[in-house]
């Protein structure tokens, strides 16, 4: 007999609001559907009301884990629009932060994978080691989560010799720990037994469903924006694209551990080859009318920002396609014919960042059935609402 | 006697529900988890993270409330048994942060729920959360 089960939007296995609706046959999932929109904040509309420099702070707050990914993606897009060549030292520091962020994100994911597979001590271990990376990021930027490092033309803070030495010291510890995890992921029989064969996604399926990031690479497709379309200074840095052929959750864990090791090499290379000179150049305030499509390899996969400028100091349109959104169709395919007990594991394996992916313009009208709102209508609605705001009242809305 | 025992256990071991109200960047959620991890170890104060609102004494709310999530947040809050305490954690939960003026978020959790403690910061450090919990427990005493 078939029956339906809904999971979320508030559920202990999901740390953010999303709703999964599944059709079950016994314990086997026959069909799954995702309901989004619980975390939609209207970032794209907000971006149109802010100047370019203010938008760096807004794009940083698209996501709390890959905050540097979104700012870098936005910043390098706007730099192209400005026809600005950023400082070389700035680009190196930007890449350094990006790789440190990848390390902290992957360590976080490994912990979550450990927790979802019932390996609590692994969860505690990786999160303890993650604090080492957060300390490094705090030394450089002054904050643990939102680093606010990017600006047009470079970065906002320099890295000095003492910091360099401290980072290299901490890296030694992280390398040792990561080797231990690689060993563990490959040889601990309970861990391997829980992850192997779960959430199968064949190579062809991964390509057809446009999966990105470690999900795609674990299906044996060596695709990485850092290699395919190098941005910043990735064309000068030697590194390998990590892949796995097992097409399951174990493969995704192995890919991430391998990427950790590659990231350590990249960080070492950057610190040893940091060019001298200024870390930022002056950027113009206004941007010529143009449009740009910026790509970036975030820890979760390819992140895309589309920016259109109209000659003023505010963007006319910002479109964000976060990697999690690209991985949703693949998740549905992975869930199908899986067991109900594997849902948290499969869902966690794409490293979902739900608030990243909430870019919707489709609204459901309760009275007239479902309908799609055009962007112009949405804008008219937003303008209508903005007119109604009583600015004399305290605490109602931000005085733009 | 029983009342004193209940009060003692409530102060010594508050159980916590972590609720993401939707309109945040999940940086605060990660910092709440980090506060429970070995380095900061909030559990040494008896604080335990629970999955269901029915077991919780304190509801830690992060993020600005989105319109689609508003009724659900209220429903979760109503399921927490009395006496209950609300904590607005992070700049979004306090006053909306960068999402102020958006068409889909409310400005602060306190527009919808009673709040007993505010934790400032975007995102706050785990130490700030521990400070908030200690202050809240002292006020309950």
| Whether A41 and B64 lie within 8 Å, measured CB to CB | yes
A41 → closest Cβ in B95, B105, B107: B105
Are the Cβ atoms of B99 and A65 closer than 8 angstroms?
no
Spatial CB neighbours of A165, under 8 Å, sequence gap ≥ 6: none
In this complex, the residue of B29, B34, B97 whose CB is nearest that of residue A15 is B29
A41–chain B Cβ distance below 8 A for any pair: yes
- What pLDDT does A274 receive? 92
- Residue numbers of B between 70 and 109 with CB closer than 8 Å to A: 72, 76, 95-105, 107-108
CB atoms A355 and B25 under 8 Å? yes
A236 and A367 co-located in one domain: no
Taking the domains of chain B in order of start, what are their residue ranges?
15-135
The pLDDT value given to residue A400 = 39
Q: Does residue A30 sit within a domain?
A: no
The pLDDT score that the predictor gives to residue A232 is 87
- Mention the CATH class of domain B15-135: alpha beta
A329 with A394, same domain: the answer is: no
The pLDDT assigned to A302 comes to: 92
**Cis omega (within 30 of 0) on the bond before B123?**
yes
Instruction: Evaluate whether residue A115 is within a structural domain.
Output: yes
What does the alpha-carbon distance between residue B130 and residue B114 come to, in Å, rounded to a whole number? 20
Interface with A, mutate which of B18, B30, B36 (most A CBs under 10 A): B30
Prediction pTM value: 0.88
Q: Please give the full DSSP string across A41-101, using - where no structure is assigned.
A: --HHHHHHTS-HHHHHHHHHTT-SSSHHHHHHHHHHHHHHHHT----HHHHHHHHHHHHHH
Domain count of the fold of chain A: 2
Minimal Cβ distance to A61: which of B25, B39, B101: B25
Pairing of strands A290-298, A315-321: unpaired
What's CA A105's distance to the chain center, in Å? 9
Does one domain contain both A319 and A377?
A: no
Q: Are residues A231 and A380 in the same domain?
A: no
HSE at residue A237, side-chain half, CA atoms within 13 A, is 28
Tell whether A5 is covered by a domain.
no
**pLDDT at res. A35:** 82
- Residues A212, A104, single domain; the answer is yes
- Give domain status of residue A335, yes or no: yes
Would you call A38 and B27 a contact, using CB atoms and an 8 Å cutoff? no
User: pLDDT at position A15, please?
Assistant: 74
CA A44 – CA A317 distance, rounded (Å): 7
User: Hey, are the CB atoms on B69 and A38 less than 8 Å from each other?
Assistant: yes
Parent domain of A52: 43-357
The span from the CA of B141 to the CA of A31, in Å, is 51
Residue A389's pLDDT is what?
Answer: 66
Chain B residue whose CA is closest to A12: B51
Q: Identify the CA nearest to A144 among candidates B123, B60, B41, B128.
A: B123
Nearest to B32 by CA among B93, B109, B79: B93
A391 and A264 share a domain? no
A3 is a domain residue: no
Which B-chain residues 3-32 have CB contacts (< 8 A) with chain A? Answer: 18-31
- Least CB–CB distance from B66: residue in A40, A61, A64: A40
Residue A304 has a pLDDT of: 92
The CA distance from B46 to the nearest CA of chain A, in Å, is: 18
Q: What is the pLDDT along chain B (141 residues), one digit of tens a residue?
A: 888 888 888 788 889 998 888 778 888 888 998 998 888 888 888 888 888 889 998 999 998 888 888 888 888 999 999 888 999 999 988 888 888 888 888 888 888 889 999 999 888 999 999 898 888 888 887
In chain B, which residues have their Cβ closer than 8 Å to the Cβ of A126?
none
pLDDT of residue A398: 47
Q: What is the largest CA-CA distance in chain B?
A: 51
ipTM of the complex: 0.90
For residues A176 and A289, state if they share a domain.
Answer: yes
Distance CA A322, CA A104 (A): 18
Predicted pLDDT at A171: 92
Rounded to whole angstroms, the Cα distance separating A372 from A367 reads 14
Cβ-Cβ contacts under 8 Å for A221 (sequence gap 6 or more): A203, A206, A207, A243
Residue A168: predicted pLDDT: 93
Nearest to A352 by CA among A117, A34, A31: A34
CB within 8 Å of A58: residues ≥ 6 apart? A43, A46, A47, A50, B98
- For residue A49, list chain B residues with Cβ-Cβ distance below 8 A: 101
Q: What is the pLDDT of residue A295?
A: 92
Question: What CATH number did the domain enclosing A287 receive?
Answer: 1.10.645.10
User: Quick one: A170 and A267 in the same domain?
Assistant: yes
CA nearest to A183, candidates A245, A128, A261: A261
The answer on A389 and A250 residing in a single domain is: no
Residue A322 counted as domain residue: yes
pLDDT by residue, tens only, chain A of 400 residues: 788 888 877 777 677 788 888 888 888 888 888 888 888 888 888 899 899 999 999 999 998 888 899 999 999 999 999 999 999 999 999 999 999 999 999 999 999 888 888 888 889 999 999 999 999 999 999 989 899 999 999 999 999 999 999 999 999 999 999 999 888 877 888 888 888 888 899 999 999 998 999 999 999 999 999 999 898 899 999 999 999 998 999 999 999 999 999 999 999 999 999 999 999 999 988 888 999 999 999 999 999 999 999 988 899 999 998 898 889 889 999 988 888 888 888 888 888 888 777 775 544 555 555 566 666 777 787 777 777 766 565 555 444 3
Cβ distance A38 to B52 less than 8 Å, yes or no, reads no
Residue A225 within a domain: yes
**Alpha helix segments (H runs only) across B1-141:** 2-12, 27-36, 70-79, 91-95, 126-140
| Shared-domain flag, residues A242 and A373 | no
Burial class (CB in 10 A: 0-12, 13-18, 19+), A3: exposed
On whether both A150 and A267 belong to a single domain, the answer is yes
């Amino acid at each position: 007999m078939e029956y339906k089960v809904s999971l979320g939007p508030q559920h202990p296995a999901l740390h953010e609001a999303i709703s999964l609706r599944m059709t079950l046959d016994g314990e086997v999932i026959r069909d799954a559907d995702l309901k989004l929109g619980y975390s939609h904040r209207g970032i794209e509309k907000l971006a149109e009301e802010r100047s370019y420099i203010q938008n760096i702070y807004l794009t940083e707050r698209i996501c709390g884990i890959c905050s540097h990914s979104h700012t870098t993606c936005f910043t390098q897009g706007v730099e192209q629009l400005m026809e600005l060549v950023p400082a070389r030292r700035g680009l190196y520091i930007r890449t350094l932060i990006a790789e440190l962020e990848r390390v902290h994100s992957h360590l976080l994911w490994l912990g979550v994978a450990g927790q979802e597979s019932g390996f609590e001590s692994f969860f505690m271990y990786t999160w303890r080691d993650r604090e080492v990376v957060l300390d490094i990021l705090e030394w450089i930027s002054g904050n643990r989560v939102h680093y606010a490092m990017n600006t047009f033309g470079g970065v906002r803070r320099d890295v000095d010799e003492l910091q360099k030495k401290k980072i290299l010291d901490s890296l030694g510890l992280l390398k040792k720990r990561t080797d231990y995890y690689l060993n563990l992921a490959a040889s601990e029989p309970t861990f391997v037994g829980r992850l192997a064969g779960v959430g199968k996604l064949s190579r062809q399926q991964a390509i057809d469903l446009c999966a990105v990031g470690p999900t795609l690479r674990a299906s044996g497709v060596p695709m990485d924006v850092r290699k395919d379309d190098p941005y910043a200074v990735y064309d000068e840095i030697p590194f390998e694209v990590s892949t796995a052929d097992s097409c399951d959750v174990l493969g995704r864990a192995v890919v991430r551990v391998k990427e950790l090791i590659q990231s350590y090499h990249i960080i070492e290379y950057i610190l040893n080859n940091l060019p001298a000179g200024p870390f930022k150049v002056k950027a113009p305030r206004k941007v010529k009318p143009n449009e740009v499509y910026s790509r970036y390899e975030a820890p979760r996969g390819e992140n895309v920002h589309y920016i259109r400028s109209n000659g003023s100091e505010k963007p006319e349109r910002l479109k964000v396609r976060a990697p999690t959104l690209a991985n949703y169709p693949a998740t549905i395919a992975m869930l199908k014919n899986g067991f109900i007990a594997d849902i948290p594991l499969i869902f966690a394996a794409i490293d979902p960042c739900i608030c990243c992916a909430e870019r919707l313009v489709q609204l459901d009208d309760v009275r007239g059935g479902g309908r799609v709102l055009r962007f112009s209508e949405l804008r008219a609605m937003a303008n209508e609402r903005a007119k109604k705001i009583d600015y004399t009242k305290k605490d109602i809305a931000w005085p733009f | 006697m029983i009342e004193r025992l209940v009060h003692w256990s409530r102060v010594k071991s508050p159980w916590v529900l972590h609720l993401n109200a939707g309109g945040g960047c999940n940086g605060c959620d990660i910092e709440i988890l980090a506060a429970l991890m070995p380095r900061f170890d909030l559990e040494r104060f008896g604080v335990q993270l629970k999955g269901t609102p029915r077991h919780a004494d304190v509801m830690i709310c992060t993020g600005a409330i989105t319109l689609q999530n508003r009724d659900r947040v209220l429903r979760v809050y109503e399921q927490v048994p009395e006496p209950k305490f609300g904590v607005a954690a992070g700049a979004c939960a306090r006053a909306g942060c960068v999402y102020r003026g958006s068409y889909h978020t409310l400005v602060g959790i306190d527009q919808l729920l009673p709040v007993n403690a505010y934790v400032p910061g975007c995102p706050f450090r785990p130490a700030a959360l521990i400070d908030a919990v200690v202050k809240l427990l002292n006020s309950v005493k």
